[in-house]
Structure 1
Amino acid sequence: MNGKRGSTTFLKVIIFLAGIAVLALCIFLVPRIANFAANLYPNIAPMKYLIFIGMYGAAVPFYFALYQAFNLLRYIDENTAFSELSVKALKNIKCCAITISGLYILGLPLFHFIAKKVDPPIGIIGLIIIFASLVIAVFAAILHRLLQEAINIKSENDLTI
């Protein structure tokens, strides 16, 4: 019991630190990237705003997914991991990961456009984010399905007894 709570506490701290790291990126790095892109293409007025929309738009589902992951760990602490709430949290995490991938896929032409004028290939960063989000989505979908099947088996066993 104590080891389980310790591991969920560790994961909660990791979730909190991930949230802080992305917040720092949103505050300090995204404006620099947007200004850099606007300076690369001064004749394209909405360039800066497209960067803001894409990157801040992806931050919203990221934070919602972090909240759902935090809730999932709380359900584990409360011994209610095998519940519909956990299934719903995993489904929400999957949807958030797909949304993040979708937003970055939509933004790939923009990254490519910027990468044409920049020596290091920054478009690879967008591909990494897309790939990582898709891996998370697949993992959440598998856990969602397994948890749903476990709940169904448990309810069948409860009805049998």
Structure 2
Amino acid sequence: MRFTATLYLKAAVSFIGLSVLALCILWLPWQAGELALTYPEFSYLQYPLLIGLYMTALPFFFALYQAWKLLIAIDRNQAFSELAVKRLVLIKYCAVIIFVIYLAGEILIISQNAGQPGIVLLGLIIMFYSIVISIFAALLQNLLKNALELKEENELTV
């Protein structure tokens, strides 16, 4: 049962990673060019925003890698380990980094009066999900730390 659940989660992580990679390689450059042609008054923002989006891809893929490694640890019955706690901390930090980069991008877009409602809303949604993931990872981290302490306590009493 556990192997099947982690298999589904690994498939989901793989699908998400490949989808975002395809978007980064194929869709983002094309969309940035199209937006620069459609709104020539904001074409100077094309590359700064594209670079910002690619900067968020780095912590995103790093967090996916950490999630993958966490699933491998679960498969090996090592879910309650210090390494699992470290991976959750790294996922939390990646989510915070993504939030900060998108916050800077939102400030840039709004300060340049380029804040189309859809673009600003999309950035806000991504920022919201980043914070939710960060809080959830912090919660899991605390639960895992408590479970580790209880596990060590039980091992000492036996």
Give TM-score, length-normalised by structure 2: 0.90
Offset from partner CA, 1:58-93 (integer Å, 9 cap, x none) = 000000000000011101100010001100010000
Q: Structure 1 residues 43 and 160 mapped into 2: Cα distance closer, same or farther (>3 Å)?
A: closer
Q: 2-side partners of 1:30 and 1:44: how far apart?
A: 15
Task: Specify which of 28, 31, 34 is matched with residue 30 of structure 1.
Answer: 28
Could you tell me whether the CA contact under 8 Å between 2:42 and 2:114 is conserved in 1?
A: no
- Aligned-pair identity (%): 45
Report how many residues are paired. Answer: 155
Letter in 1 for 2:145: Q
Q: 2-side partners of 1:56 and 1:42: how far apart?
A: 23
| RMSD over equivalenced CA pairs, Å | 1.7
Q: Structure 1 residues 159 and 58 mapped into 2: Cα distance closer, same or farther (>3 Å)?
A: same
Give TM-score, length-normalised by structure 1: 0.89
Q: Structure 1 residues 128 and 142 mapped into 2: Cα distance closer, same or farther (>3 Å)?
A: same
Per-residue deviation at 1:44?
Answer: 6.0
Name 1:19's counterpart in structure 2. Answer: 17
Could you tell me whether the CA contact under 8 Å between 1:82 and 1:150 is conserved in 2?
A: yes
1:65 aligned onto 2:59: no
Q: Structure 1 residues 43 and 157 mapped into 2: Cα distance closer, same or farther (>3 Å)?
A: closer
Letter in 2 for 1:147: L
Q: 1-side partners of 2:152 and 2:42: how far apart?
A: 62
Unaligned runs of 5+ in 2: none
Unaligned runs of 5+ in 1: none
